[in-house]
Chains A and B, each alone.
Chain A
Amino acid sequence: MLLYTFRRLLQAVPTLVGVVVLIFFFVRALPGDPARLYAGTDADRATVEAIRQRFGLDRSLPEQFVYFVGGLARGDLGRSFRANMPVKDLLARHFRATLVLASIAIVAATLLGIMLGVAAARRRNSALDLGITSASVLGISTPSFFLGILLIYVFAVKLRVLPVAGSVSLKGIVLPAATLAVASLGTIARFARSSLLETIGNDYVRTARAKGLDPRRVINKHALRNALIPVVTIVGLQFGFLLSGTVIVETVFNFHGLGWLLIQSVEARDYPAVQGLMLVFALQFIVINLVVDVLYGLIDPRISYE
């Protein structure tokens, strides 16, 4: 188990190296001159040149790359052009908001998704099943930017019970979290439903039924536990997508998290900030996949680690 975890960690290393290289060149490929943007439109050449030197943008690409990687090794992500503060601090400032938002969304999506999926599977082909399956696919198909606007219209404009703009507060986080959760909720519900249906078809479930166990007990005690194992994977993957989904949802609600910051930084050609953000998004994704893999093995002892 420990060995497997370690090997899985090692596997992530080449991916991480690729990510760092890709991010560096991506940011350099962006059009526009960050030094000029930073200096402002009415700055003279000398000022722009001075800024270029201060940010190290006058050096050759290999030099900049070595500087970037060297900084990374020391945990230094550089200084944001736009916010004029270390990127690390800038990210830290916005990270909490996104983490709170995404966590609420994934917890809600998982609990509700499993409940709905199980309820649908219990009464297969009933009106309830049809309703839940239809709602799930509708939830998956609705763009988050439309759903967000719809929720703003109903709850903020018409009913006036919740604020238009999102923030990390009890009231301010409800609408963005709900918007973010819906697509994952639909996916998790569908997956839980099909997983439980598949498990119910197994021999041991039939045996349990044949020996006269209460049908509710058969599902709760025997089928459900096994059916939920693959759901772990889908929840993990959804959490990864959720974090990137914050880019759009945070823009709709003007919610100042990492996704919102990314769009702002891209517009300002804030190289160090975009680099840092891309790195954080990729890191989150890699770590989540790693955790899901390891967790999967902990839950299901049948999986071997060769």
Chain B
Amino acid sequence: MSDAPATPASDALAPAQERAPGGFSRSALGRLLRHRSGSLGLVLTVAFAVLAVVGPWIAPYGPAVPDYTHLAKGASGAHWLGTDAFGRDTFSRVLAGARYSITIGLAATVIGAFVGGAWGLLAGFLGGWFDNVSMRVVDVLLAFPGILIAIGLVTITGPGVGPVILASAVFGIPVFARLARGSTLEVKGRAFIEAANALGVKRPRVMLKHVLPQVIAPILVYATLRSGSTLLVASGLSFLGLGVQAPAPEWGGMLSDAQLWLVVQPLMAFAPGIAITLAVLGFNLLGDGLRDVLDPSVGR
């Protein structure tokens, strides 16, 4: 299970010593578009994001509509990617499933990055006992392989879309917390923060106006890199039967059903499997590209 393909949180993730202010400029986008694999990642990611919105509308059949006269059939003019064990159109299910799988993956990453980022920023900025306790808690969370935390949480909350988002978000929180704390500590030591403090700028303002903008770029890059593995964990939960439940067309769950029918109709497994792989590939390539363009020292 590739639940953490990128380099995990470590000091290697600390931001570069000097970075031009306002990392996401137009030139950054231009450089990303000239970045060969990065631009491919951008295209794939945008395509899947669009699919998550329009997928259910452009699907030729309803994703849960059975056709008992066409069970587990191969590709045909009427069913481009064949049908599943209930005669449901596989192509339509993959299209409609984008809304589940992509939304869950993105939502979980955003929540994980936001909560973990805020936590790490606070811990690094405040220091003292709060920082100490926070980092011990992060140590404990990181002592468990990520997917175990997700499996544990989703077992407590029960199956469903919300629980999968929550579980996959928590999977990322300790990593983002550690990354944000590291960046915050590094920024805190720089001269312009000292200057702001000396000028009597209020502490919350220093944190939000001066530290936060410097910390946000590495978090954004890492969030993009991380969204691929988050999608893998989320669909993995559904594959294990702990996540989104049938008949919802979530890709991981579809693969789990399809494994039983592998001998009869392999298309049932190939279609959602290729969909997940391409989506994760898109996120990974985009993340690599962003890192190269914005900040070569993040998560090498």
Instruction: Please say whether chains A and B are actual partners in one complex.
Output: yes
Size class of the B contact interface (CB-based, 8 Å): 35 or more
Least distance between A176 CB and chain B CB atoms (Å): 12
- Please tell me which one of the listed residues B136, B235, B269 contacts residue A18 in the complex, with CB atoms under 8 A apart: B136
The answer to whether the Cβ of A112 comes within 8 Å of any Cβ in the partner chain is no
Assembly CA distance A244 to B8 (angstroms): 15
Contact B140 A31, beta carbon cutoff 8 Å: no
Contact A285 B145, beta carbon cutoff 8 Å: yes
Q: What DSSP secondary structure best describes chain A's contact surface? A: helix
Binds A, one of B87-95, B181-189, B277-285: B277-285
Contact A157 B263, beta carbon cutoff 8 Å: yes
Q: Considering the complex, give the chain B residue whose CB is closest to the CB of A145.
A: B239
Contact A143 B273, beta carbon cutoff 8 Å: yes
- Residue-wise, chain B 196-239 has the 8 Å CB interface mask toward A (1 for contact) of 00000000000000000000000000000000100010011001
A266/B155 contact (C-beta < 8 A), A137-B284, A234-B7 known: yes
Binds A, one of B73-81, B119-127, B146-154: B146-154
**Which residues of the partner chain B approach A184 to less than 8 Å between Cβ atoms?**
2
Contact A240 B145, beta carbon cutoff 8 Å: yes
Assembly CA distance A34 to B295 (angstroms): 51
Contact B5 A138, beta carbon cutoff 8 Å: no
- Residue-wise, chain A 231-246 has the 8 Å CB interface mask toward B (1 for contact) of 0001001001101111
**Which residues of the partner chain A approach B276 to less than 8 Å between Cβ atoms?**
143, 146
A249/B1 contact (C-beta < 8 A), A149-B259, A153-B266 known: yes
Contact B1 A144, beta carbon cutoff 8 Å: yes
Contact B273 A150, beta carbon cutoff 8 Å: yes
Contact B273 A281, beta carbon cutoff 8 Å: no
Contact A31 B158, beta carbon cutoff 8 Å: yes
**Which residues of the partner chain A approach B136 to less than 8 Å between Cβ atoms?**
14-15, 18
Least distance between A145 CB and chain B CB atoms (Å): 5
Assembly CA distance A186 to B277 (angstroms): 14
The answer to whether the Cβ of B144 comes within 8 Å of any Cβ in the partner chain is yes
**Which residues of the partner chain B approach A244 to less than 8 Å between Cβ atoms?**
1, 3, 145-148
**Which residues of the partner chain B approach A19 to less than 8 Å between Cβ atoms?**
140, 143-144
Contact B262 A247, beta carbon cutoff 8 Å: no
The answer to whether the Cβ of B139 comes within 8 Å of any Cβ in the partner chain is yes
Q: Considering the complex, give the chain B residue whose CB is closest to the CB of A152.
A: B262
Contact A18 B281, beta carbon cutoff 8 Å: no
**Which residues of the partner chain B approach A186 to less than 8 Å between Cβ atoms?**
2, 5
Least distance between A127 CB and chain B CB atoms (Å): 14
Least distance between A130 CB and chain B CB atoms (Å): 9
Contact B5 A247, beta carbon cutoff 8 Å: no
Size class of the A contact interface (CB-based, 8 Å): 35 or more
**Which residues of the partner chain A approach B263 to less than 8 Å between Cβ atoms?**
157
The answer to whether the Cβ of A119 comes within 8 Å of any Cβ in the partner chain is no
Contact B143 A153, beta carbon cutoff 8 Å: no
- Please tell me which one of the listed residues A30, A138, A262, A286 contacts residue B156 in the complex, with CB atoms under 8 A apart: A30
Further 8 A-B residue pairs, CB within 8 A, beyond A234-B7, A262-B148, A266-B155: A14-B136, A29-B156, A137-B281, A137-B284, A143-B236, A186-B5, A248-B240, A262-B151
Interface residues of B, Cβ cutoff 8 Å to A: 1-5, 7-8, 37, 136-137, 139-140, 143-148, 151-152, 155-156, 158, 228, 232, 235-236, 239-240, 252, 255-256, 258-259, 262-263, 266, 269-270, 272-274, 276-277, 280-281, 284-285, 288, 300
Provide 30 A-B residue pairs closer than 8 Å at the C-beta atoms, listed in order of the A residue. A14-B136, A15-B136, A18-B136, A18-B140, A31-B156, A31-B158, A137-B37, A137-B281, A140-B228, A142-B2, A143-B235, A143-B236, A143-B252, A145-B252, A146-B272, A149-B258, A150-B270, A152-B259, A152-B262, A153-B262, A157-B263, A237-B8, A240-B145, A241-B2, A243-B145, A246-B1, A248-B236, A282-B144, A282-B148, A286-B143
